[in-house]
Structures are given as structure tokens and as C-alpha cells.
Homo-oligomer: A and B are copies of this chain.
Amino acid sequence: MVNYSGSGLDRTFAALADPTRRAMLAMLRKGSRSVSEIAQPFPMSLQAAMKHLDVLSHAGLITRKKEGRKVACALRPRPLKAATRWLKRYEQISEERLDRFEAYVEQLQRGESA
């Protein structure tokens, strides 16, 4: 299901293509959490939740650190930044299109032929 080879962006986007994994990352925005705290809200086995954490870890989106008897997971925002940078190149396109569309609407409002 998830691409384990491929580049950083391949792994980041593949990891983000699952709602459970996105929800896990959202939990970690507030700070680090133990594996059991992260797994708790999801209607799945601890084993299944840990597989999702494996994918996130392999994509470099989280770090895992043993703290006594618990494993603490923390968000690692760098790969998300790279993904955002890739996507931002397209943001401009929507804005350019919107600008053109607005100019067209204004032209129509002034009663000029389009």
C-alpha cells in the first residue's frame, strides 16, 4: 500500500494519503505523545496503529524515543515543509487564474464585450 522506496516526497505524500495517519499527526501538533495515547482514540488494534506509526516514522514525519517503559512519538515537521514547498508552486496558478477571472468579470460589469 505504501511506497517504502522512492524519494522523500513520495514517502511523505504516501504517508499523508491515509486519514488515520493524518489524524495521528494532528494529535502530535500539540506535543509529543506515547504510542498508547496516540493509538487510544482509533477503532483498531494497537498493532494496526503501530503499523501506521511505522509508516509515519519511515517517512521521517515522526521520531520515536524510548522513555522508560513508554515510547514517546514527536512530530518532525521538516518533510511536511518540503511537501508544502512543492504544493506552493501551484498556489500561484490558482491565484493567477482567479486574477484573470476577476478581470474578466470586471470587464463584463463595465459592459465591455468579452
Which of A33-41, A63-71, A91-99 touches B? A91-99
Given A13-B16, A17-B17, A19-B6; A87-B87 close (CB under 8 Å): yes
Chain B residues near A87 (CB, 8 Å)?
80, 83-84, 87
Chain B residues near A25 (CB, 8 Å)?
90
Report Cα–Cα, A1/B7, bound state, in Å.
16
- Give the dominant DSSP class at A's interface: helix
Q: Does A51 contact B (CB under 8 A)?
A: no
Given A78-B94, A80-B87; A7-B19 close (CB under 8 Å): yes
Partner of A88, one of B9, B13, B14, B84: B84
Give, as a whole number of angstroms, the nearest-CB distance from A82 to chain B. 10
Given A77-B94, A78-B94, A94-B81; A89-B17 close (CB under 8 Å): no
Partner of A3, one of B3, B17, B97: B17
**Which residue of chain B lies nearest to A88 when distances are taken between CB atoms in the complex?**
B84
